[in-house]
Structure 1
Amino acid sequence: MDSYQTPLSSRYASKEMSKLFSNATRFGTWRQLWLSLAIAEKELGLAISDKAIEQMRANLELDEAQMKVAAEEEKKRRHDVMAHVHTFGTVAPEAAGIIHLGATSCYVTDNADLIFLRQGLSLLLPKLAIVISRLTTFAERYRDLPTLGFTHFQPAQLTTVGKRATLWIQELLWDLRNLERAKNDLGFRGVKGTTGTQASFLALFEGDHDKVEQLDERVTELSGFPYAYPVTGQTYSRKIDADVLGPLSSFGATVHKICTDIRLLANLKEIEEPFEKDQIGSSAMAYKRNPMRCERACSLARHLMSIYQNTVMTSSVQWLERTLDDSANRRVTIPEAFLTADILLSTLQNISEGMVVYPKVIGRRISQELPFMATENVIMAMVKAGGDRQVCHEKIRVLSHQAGAVVKEQGGENDLIERIKADSYFEPIWSQLEALLDPSTFIGRAPQQVDKFVRDWVQPALKPYAEDLKHIQSAELSV
């Protein structure tokens, strides 16, 4: 109550993502890395006892008492890694003399960060697949519901509600691809020493280069990575952070676009985000149904997009083998990027599960604009009935301007069709007017595009997440 807590973890983010970037997970991962190093060093001939390995393995998790010991040690030594080396040694005394043997601080800090990047992406990817699946259900449901299209937010040709949703889904599919690539590209820093030369390990193994390489490979294998970066300085290149947070930032742009579209449509009363029975939209205006979820998503999406700039700036100023002005920055940017992306996914899932469509409002707006769009069809029908194209065009032009004046200057309804019906020139096609104004004839291949897109693009992309999709739970949001 008396100190600042980030709303990202205290208010919004999932328990699993918050736990991933917790101190308990971080320091427990350090211990696992020290255990992997000791196992590999023992396998390659260093004098490390079985009991030391056993004690390390039995004490990978820190309890509250050990966290307090580590905090006191850090306050005294001003070095977080050495504080935890000492604390680990108190519960694994047989290993106290070999913990961190030959390693530099970045052995645990950097390798742990790469583990967190990979695990964070592993948490996000199924959630993104679920959002895509939810929106796909929506797109299929409304595949053939005509709606007014907008370019420049001005009325344009018709599309369908489902086809519009495929535009959102396609960008999310690209985000899925980008995050998968980022995860699959991730390597391990491995065992590289203080400036990346592996000099300390070469000394430990008495000049045996093969054993040093085997050590690097074995620790990488024990940590579950397919490969280690072939060369590093003291740290892994901070460009890797940019390679991961770049796709996260791009995902933020996707969310902002989707939720802005929904906010615009909510203003038109065509589509709304979910609204709970007892939810209050405004403290003053009781009738309001503000798009609060979409507004939250846009707000946090901007934050996610801005974080990326930190990673490229940090990458650009890493002097030579390393400098420490990356550390405090990365402690903030990496967790916040993943926590924010996690929140956006749960919010977007919640929105996609409860979007409300108002077909009658959509139909009314179509009826206000469609007469103008149908004029070309009217002209062609008249020509087929024996009329002169130029004469018909002039009559339609005059009647359209008259109807437009009623709409814009008098605030009336679009009466173009009534004017056409009142003009005997158009009598040969009066019986065709209803068919000429059928909205379904103005949507082109939108329904078929939805079907083909889902079949050829969405379903293959979601196939690796089939098990996750079987166990979908509704996303409930914090206030």
Structure 2
Amino acid sequence: MSNDRGPLWAVSPLDGRYADRTAPLVEYVSEAALQRARVTVEVEYTIALADLQATPVEIDPDLRASMRDCYRDFDESDAELIKAIETTGAKGYAATNHDVKAVEYYLREATPERVHPWLHFGLTSEDVTNLAYRMLIRDAMESVLLPRLRAIREELTEFAHAHADLPMLARTHGQPATPTTFGKEMAVYAARVGQGIAAVEAATDSLAGKLGGATGTFAAHAVAYPDVDWPAFAREFVTDLGLSYLQPTTQINPGDDLATLFDALARVNRVLIDLDQDAWQYVSRGYLGQEAAAGETGSSTMPHKVNPIDFENSEGNLSRANSDLGFLAETITTSRMQRDLSDSTVKRNMGVALAHSLLGYVKLETGLAKVVPRESVMAEDLQANPAVIGEAIQTVLRREGNPDAYELVKEATRGESVTMADFEALIEDLDVDASTKETLRSLTPESYTGIAASLARDA
């Protein structure tokens, strides 16, 4: 059968059903993107070598520009050529069966012969690949995922401010509890997401690259040019790529920095899963109404249904992302002795974890954009649960010196169907002054929200 099939035939929904939503990540986590990043590292490394007084290679401004065009103008034909050199052979090269060596041969086609000895000089493949991956992950975070997370935080902040005063029955252990406001609950999530973003930003800024040769000793570099301060050279080269510098290492970058980032991303994803589940509950209880999309079907058999599918889809994708992020963080930080290849195939799936995260963010944003708080439903629920002001009554009575205030209110309310009239009768019989009674009579479930409104406005 033909290989020229569309997305309906994709093995993964990331490249099939959800391809339009994951498209922003293609520039950072595809194989072609990895090839381009490797070309970037190889080109800039060769130019950096030419800038050393110890080396005889000369690369004039015109050649530098043309070499940099190899990654600046990198397109599908370049990616296909590198792949061909690796898998079938091309341009007179036999199949390398090695992806980094294929990049080196690709660059030979774009440079004069006098430069060829200096391409990949003294390097091991991991010197190139660890830098390429970190540049890509950094850019994916900064250009795609972090902007989405910030947009979610902003949307939650807007909810918090817009509905700061909207009273809502709270629930602890699933049972009616001290009222809050919808805005304050959204402020909690805005704050949690903000903290998560800060952790992800810090981890992204801390991505660190290595360059040190076959076992991290600079052995090949040092034997060729023993008078060069190779660690200083490596530090400058890596930091010029926008990464921190890691030393000492074995052949590989141990991946602790990536694990830190994946752990941070998983933590903020867990916050959003919590939000997805709460939003689902709010929709289920009628606290949030959903806009019905024209032509959309909520159920194949129940025509009335408008399902909270965006929150459900978000929860599912974020859960899958966290499964992958946990596996990545655990796996990429271990390697037998100086190097084994078990991490290589695993790292090719880093984009999968990022893509599921992105899908979760997109779906959550979509869900939040569709919902509208239903004040009447929230009000009805508050009015149906007057018992929640019992906490306020017993607290005021404690203030007035009554040591049995809790027990008094508990006896009158726990397990009972309590009405506001019952509280009125209780208050009438209390041995407190008229001012205190007036304070207690003024209590309602709708008004008993503490400083929730100001907390929401501070979000």
Between the aligned partners of 2:147 and 2:66, the Cα distance in structure 1 is 36
1:259 aligns with 2:276: yes
Letter of the 1:48 partner, please give it.
E
Between the aligned partners of 1:329 and 1:195, the Cα distance in structure 2 is 21
Q: 1:293 aligns with which of 299, 304, 310?
A: 310
Decide which moves more: 439-448 or 244-253.
439-448
Q: 1:374 aligns with which of 389, 394, 398?
A: 389
Evaluate the alpha carbon distance shift between residue 382 and residue 15 of structure 1 in structure 2; reply closer, same or farther with a 3 A threshold. Answer: closer
Between the aligned partners of 2:176 and 2:295, the Cα distance in structure 1 is 35
**1:432 Cα deviation (Å)?**
6.4
Aligned pairs for 1:10-49 (under 5 A) are 10=16, 11=18, 13-45=21-53, 46=55, 47-49=57-59
**1:234 Cα deviation (Å)?**
1.1
Letter of the 1:217 partner, please give it.
R
1:67 aligns with 2:79: yes
Instruction: Indicate if the aligned counterparts of 1:187 and 1:228 stay in contact, CA closer than 8 A.
Output: yes
Instruction: Indicate if the aligned counterparts of 2:168 and 2:179 stay in contact, CA closer than 8 A.
Output: yes
Evaluate the alpha carbon distance shift between residue 394 and residue 335 of structure 1 in structure 2; reply closer, same or farther with a 3 A threshold. Answer: closer
Evaluate the alpha carbon distance shift between residue 44 and residue 288 of structure 1 in structure 2; reply closer, same or farther with a 3 A threshold. Answer: same
Partner of 1:192: 212
Evaluate the alpha carbon distance shift between residue 368 and residue 314 of structure 1 in structure 2; reply closer, same or farther with a 3 A threshold. Answer: same
**1:299 Cα deviation (Å)?**
0.4
Instruction: Indicate if the aligned counterparts of 1:262 and 1:272 stay in contact, CA closer than 8 A.
Output: no
Partner of 2:175: 154
Instruction: Indicate if the aligned counterparts of 2:262 and 2:329 stay in contact, CA closer than 8 A.
Output: no
Deviations 1:405-454 (A, max 9, x none): xxxxxxxxx7x23567799977999x9699535334310111122233x2
Letter of the 2:101 partner, please give it.
M
Letter of the 2:368 partner, please give it.
S
Instruction: Indicate if the aligned counterparts of 1:18 and 1:339 stay in contact, CA closer than 8 A.
Output: no
Q: 1:365 aligns with which of 381, 385, 391?
A: 381
**1:93 Cα deviation (Å)?**
4.0
Evaluate the alpha carbon distance shift between residue 422 and residue 106 of structure 1 in structure 2; reply closer, same or farther with a 3 A threshold. Answer: closer
Listed as ranges, the gaps of 5+ residues in structure 2 are 88-94
**1:155 Cα deviation (Å)?**
0.7
Letter of the 2:231 partner, please give it.
E
1:140 aligns with 2:143: no
Partner of 1:468: none
TM-score if structure 2 supplies the norm length? 0.84
Between the aligned partners of 2:439 and 2:174, the Cα distance in structure 1 is 28
Partner of 1:417: 420
Letter of the 1:59 partner, please give it.
C
**1:293 Cα deviation (Å)?**
0.4
Evaluate the alpha carbon distance shift between residue 286 and residue 379 of structure 1 in structure 2; reply closer, same or farther with a 3 A threshold. Answer: same
Aligned pairs for 1:332-371 (under 5 A) are 332=349, 334-370=350-386
Partner of 1:224: 242
Listed as ranges, the gaps of 5+ residues in structure 1 are 405-413, 455-479
Between the aligned partners of 2:79 and 2:395, the Cα distance in structure 1 is 80
Q: 2:64 aligns with which of 53, 57, 60?
A: 53
SS of the aligned residue for 2:178 comes to strand
Between the aligned partners of 1:164 and 1:182, the Cα distance in structure 2 is 28
Aligned pairs for 1:300-339 (under 5 A) are 300-315=317-332, 317-332=334-349, 334-339=350-355
Partner of 2:109: 90
Percent identity, aligned pairs only? Answer: 21
Letter of the 2:67 partner, please give it.
M
Instruction: Indicate if the aligned counterparts of 1:172 and 1:254 stay in contact, CA closer than 8 A.
Output: yes
Partner of 2:12: 6
Instruction: Indicate if the aligned counterparts of 1:142 and 1:162 stay in contact, CA closer than 8 A.
Output: yes
Instruction: Indicate if the aligned counterparts of 2:14 and 2:22 stay in contact, CA closer than 8 A.
Output: no
TM-score if structure 1 supplies the norm length? 0.81
Decide which moves more: 229-238 or 151-160.
229-238
Between the aligned partners of 1:401 and 1:208, the Cα distance in structure 2 is 83
Letter of the 1:8 partner, please give it.
L
Partner of 1:120: 140
Deviations 1:259-318 (A, max 9, x none): 000111111010145542332211211111111000001101111221233234324531
Between the aligned partners of 1:199 and 1:395, the Cα distance in structure 2 is 79
Deviations 1:310-362 (A, max 9, x none): 23432453122111111111111x11122122222222222333321100000
**1:27 Cα deviation (Å)?**
1.2
Instruction: Indicate if the aligned counterparts of 1:242 and 1:311 stay in contact, CA closer than 8 A.
Output: yes
1:243 aligns with 2:260: yes
Between the aligned partners of 2:393 and 2:236, the Cα distance in structure 1 is 76
Between the aligned partners of 1:231 and 1:339, the Cα distance in structure 2 is 32
1:174 aligns with 2:195: yes
Letter of the 2:233 partner, please give it.
L
**1:153 Cα deviation (Å)?**
1.1
Evaluate the alpha carbon distance shift between residue 285 and residue 397 of structure 1 in structure 2; reply closer, same or farther with a 3 A threshold. Answer: same
SS of the aligned residue for 1:443 comes to coil
Evaluate the alpha carbon distance shift between residue 365 and residue 105 of structure 1 in structure 2; reply closer, same or farther with a 3 A threshold. Answer: same
Partner of 2:92: none
Deviations 1:136-194 (A, max 9, x none): 010011111111011011111111101111221122012111101101222222x3111
Between the aligned partners of 2:148 and 2:249, the Cα distance in structure 1 is 33
Partner of 2:186: 165
Root-mean-square deviation over aligned CA pairs: 3.3
Aligned pair count reads 432
Between the aligned partners of 1:394 and 1:188, the Cα distance in structure 2 is 66
Q: 1:280 aligns with which of 280, 297, 302?
A: 297
**1:247 Cα deviation (Å)?**
0.8
Letter of the 1:86 partner, please give it.
Y
Partner of 1:477: none
SS of the aligned residue for 2:253 comes to coil
Evaluate the alpha carbon distance shift between residue 133 and residue 381 of structure 1 in structure 2; reply closer, same or farther with a 3 A threshold. Answer: closer
Between the aligned partners of 1:182 and 1:103, the Cα distance in structure 2 is 27
Decide which moves more: 83-92 or 49-58.
49-58
1:442 aligns with 2:448: yes
Letter of the 1:182 partner, please give it.
A
**1:109 Cα deviation (Å)?**
1.0
